[in-house]
Amino acid sequence: MLKRVLYFFCLASIVFSCKKDDLTGGSNSSIKVISTVTEPKQVKLVSSNDGTLLALSTSGDLIVPASHQELILINAGGVVQRRISLSDTLFQHMSAVRGINGGFFVCGTSNTFSYIAIYYLDDSGEKLWSKSFTVKFGTSLNEPVAKISPDNYYQVMYQSYGSGYYIWKGDADGNEVSNIKFPTPNAVHYGSGLNYGERYSDFFQVNDTLIIAQGITIDRYESDIENCFLRAVNENMVKKWYSDNYDSTHMESGAGLAYINDKIILFGSKADNQYYEYYGDVFARTYSTSGDFEGEIVYPKVGGSDTRIRQSTPSPDGGFLLVGSNNQYSQGELVSPNNIVLIKLDHNAVFNWARSIETDSPSKGFDAVYLADGTIGLIGLLKEKENANKIVYMHLDASGVIVNN
């Protein structure tokens, strides 16, 4: 399998070299500004059954209380249909998926209270019900992740600070079915001190006996190194395996998981140092369902510039679309001449094409969804000043060119 993956990498390099790797198209007049926020922490996009889109954004970090929270319903052309208020509480972190019966399932957490709030909205953004469940042992500091299980239940992975990570499972009406904790790590992996600083950021359930979680782990003795890892448990949260490969020379940032042809794919970015927000090489790693590492593809840099991928999205042809940005030349939130980057892969994670979307102001891509007609909805940020961010929406055709709506 590793030889096959390495062959794919070579093929990807050849295909990439035959294409123009910095392609721009469309008009900035078709970039729709849907909100403005000072310090956004999350920018996400979810599609409903009828083609409407739910945009989410929050602010606030591990210490600073949340100061901004928005849910915005837009159509495929980026026209705002409705701004939705969930409650009087501001959430630092939110996640959402398309609802089991249409509409949207949304969950939110804050550092200032010890419960998870969940909501169900219909396709028009109307709140049909809301519920909550207690977070054990204190506040939840990390972002929850909402999914739908193979047996058609809602799932929320969340952190209880000082206790660990859990997966809550509920039915279509929000009634709890289970709420089980991940097992505490009991083995050293990736070197010394790795039980310190595990952070989970994504998960999915492969079948009724295997759940895969993606995370980042920090070695307390080498705090400038962060490595992506996978953790597998069964439906009762009993440990199955940890991934055992890592790159000790880079900072890594995960950008989502996929499962295809009995293989698990981890997408992410890795940088030479911690100062440029994980901008570096984009990679895809392949694992068996038994946790065996089977190979890695590192993709050529779009326009020759370091890139960070923030999200991966399945495409209608069985492949994947990676969304992010490049051209990060300054530390932290200082302004760099960023461009939004798209990387399209086939079903084997082999490179198809890449596009760098230039805008009048520095821009970063955060999330994307495919619409029913095969076009793409993309959400990101325009940064005009150090602390001014415009949340923007772009409607793209299947090749990543902006559609003039």
Task: Quick: pLDDT tens for 107-163.
Answer: 988 877 778 999 999 999 999 999 998 886 555 667 899 999 999 999 999 888 777
The answer on pLDDT for 73 being more than 70 is: yes
| Highest averaged pLDDT of the listed ranges 12-21, 189-198, 368-377 | 368-377
Question: Where are the domains positioned within the chain?
Answer: 1-30+262-405
Average pLDDT taken over every residue of the chain:
82
pLDDT of residue 15: 36
* Stronger pLDDT, 61 or 73, i.e. the higher one: 73
| Confidence band of 216 (pLDDT split at 50, 70, 90) | confident
Provide the edge-to-edge strand list for the sheet that holds 351-357: 307-314, 320-326, 339-345, 351-357
pLDDT of residue 58: 82
pLDDT of residue 344: 97
Cβ atoms of 68 and 57 within 8 Å: the answer is: yes
Cβ atoms of 331 and 343 within 8 Å: the answer is: no
d(CA 320, CA 354): 12
**pLDDT tens digits for range 192-214:** 433 446 778 899 999 888 999 88
The answer on pLDDT for 269 being more than 80 is: yes
* Stronger pLDDT, 396 or 332, i.e. the higher one: 396
**pLDDT tens digits for range 312-330:** 999 999 999 999 998 877 6
Q: What is the pTM (predicted TM-score) of this model?
A: 0.87
Alpha carbon of residue 230 to chain centroid: 15
* Stronger pLDDT, 153 or 39, i.e. the higher one: 153
**Other beta carbons less than 10 A from residue 274's beta carbon:** 14
**Other beta carbons less than 10 A from residue 216's beta carbon:** 18
d(CA 382, CA 362): 6
**pLDDT tens digits for range 328-369:** 776 655 667 888 999 999 999 999 999 999 888 888 999 999
* 102 φψ region: left (φ > 0), alpha (ψ -120 to 50), beta (else): left
Encode 161-195: b = buried (16+ Cβ within 10 Å), e = exposed: beebbbbbbbeeebeeeebeebeebeeeebeeebe
Q: Which of 6-20, 262-276, 372-386 has the lowest mean pLDDT?
A: 6-20
| Confidence band of 275 (pLDDT split at 50, 70, 90) | low
| Confidence band of 246 (pLDDT split at 50, 70, 90) | low
Residue among 27, 12, 19 nearest 402 (CA)? 27
- Average pLDDT in the 237-259 region? 84
